[in-house]
Amino acid sequence: MDYSKLRGYFFLNNKYIKASKANIHILNHSLHFSGSVFEGIRVYNGIPFLLGKHLKRLLCSCDLMKLHINLSIDEISRIIFTLIKKNKIRDGYIRPIIFRDSKSMSPDISGCESQIFIAIWNWKLLFKDKPKISLTVGKLKKMDQRFFPVKAKTSGSYQGSIIEKYNATLKGFDDALMLDSNNNIAETTACNIFWYKNKKVFTPKTHSILNGITRQIVMKILKKNKIECIVGNFKRSHIMNADEVFITGTASEVVGISKIDEKKYTKNDIVIFLKDEFDKLKNLS
């Protein structure tokens, strides 16, 4: 899909403009220095799903990355609802991004101002309704909070992910599983990961991963249904001995894993259960 050819209306510089007119200068500071923060928000039946949680994280990301906008959560929400209406979106995806202008070409951001852009389009699932996907273990490590503002959803967070996704597809896999600097399980290139063994669910700590909103929802579902979820540091061998593995994310929802490298996972019980529970929440939105 060529996103430069999207039609409809976007929001940029306090105006609703045609998508074809949404442009920034090539010497934009965030383009050169990865200084933008963004969110991905799903629209189900014309309603943005968990909008408040996403926008709260967006503003937290701004604080961490020293970006400043003069819009509240309520004001951004109203803009998003207007875009849904103007573009007649029923099931889609919203991408708000906050970035710096072109008043610097060095790490000095003292003279820069922040801008907000919001795009929206019709879109369903990241993996196009695949029942399961395959992973290979990547070589690049996920940086932790000692080196990087992990809690911020930033453009710079995905540099290693882009490379490992590319390498994974060259090898015939759908995505890559990434480890942290201590060779513990971290996440995939854009999704959080869980696995199931002996009636317990396991997932990594958040020191080197984004604490995804879908991840949080799945953990609440598990708690509500009295399924123990253990958060910790786990080596590769731990996930390789699991009965089921699955990933979560706004764009992917809940997706089962068919294999990691040569290790295959054939069971689907917990994945089917969580998909059903997640669908119930979508339908209530």
Mean pLDDT of successive 10-residue stretches along the chain, which has 285 residues: 92 94 95 96 96 98 96 97 97 97 96 97 83 96 90 94 98 97 97 97 96 97 98 97 97 96 95 96 81
Q: What pLDDT is recorded for position 127? A: 85
Residue 95: how many CB atoms within 10 A of its CB? Answer: 16
* Bridge partners, residue 180, by sequence: 142
Q: What pLDDT is recorded for position 59? A: 97
Q: What pLDDT is recorded for position 226? A: 97
Q: What are phi and psi for residue 54, nearest 5 degrees?
A: -65, -45
Q: What pLDDT is recorded for position 251? A: 92
Cα–Cα distance list, 272 to 131, 141, 190 (Å): 10, 30, 21
Q: What pLDDT is recorded for position 1? A: 82
Chain centroid to CA 71: how far?
22
Kindly report whether the global pTM for this prediction surpasses the value 0.85. yes
* Bridge partners, residue 201, by sequence: 196, 229
Beta 263-264 vs 114-122: how paired, if at all?
unpaired
Contact 43, 89 (CB under 8 A): yes
Q: What pLDDT is recorded for position 21? A: 93
Contact 180, 207 (CB under 8 A): yes
Q: What pLDDT is recorded for position 126? A: 82
Q: What pLDDT is recorded for position 106? A: 97
What gap in Å lies between CA 257 and CA 74, rounded to an integer? 38
Q: What pLDDT is recorded for position 124? A: 79
What gap in Å lies between CA 132 and CA 174, rounded to an integer? 10
In degrees, rounded to 5, the angle at the alpha carbon of residue 173 between the alpha carbons of residues 170 and 177 is: 105
Beta 253-260 vs 132-142: how paired, if at all?
parallel
Q: What pLDDT is recorded for position 285? A: 67
Cα–Cα distance list, 256 to 122, 123, 195, 246, 275 (Å): 24, 20, 10, 4, 10
Cα–Cα distance list, 166 to 38, 188, 201, 207 (Å): 22, 13, 29, 25
If DSSP states are collapsed to H, E and C, what string results for 105-154? CCCCCCCCCEEEEEEEEECCCCCCCCCEEEEEEEEEEECCCCCCCCCCCE
Q: What pLDDT is recorded for position 165? A: 98
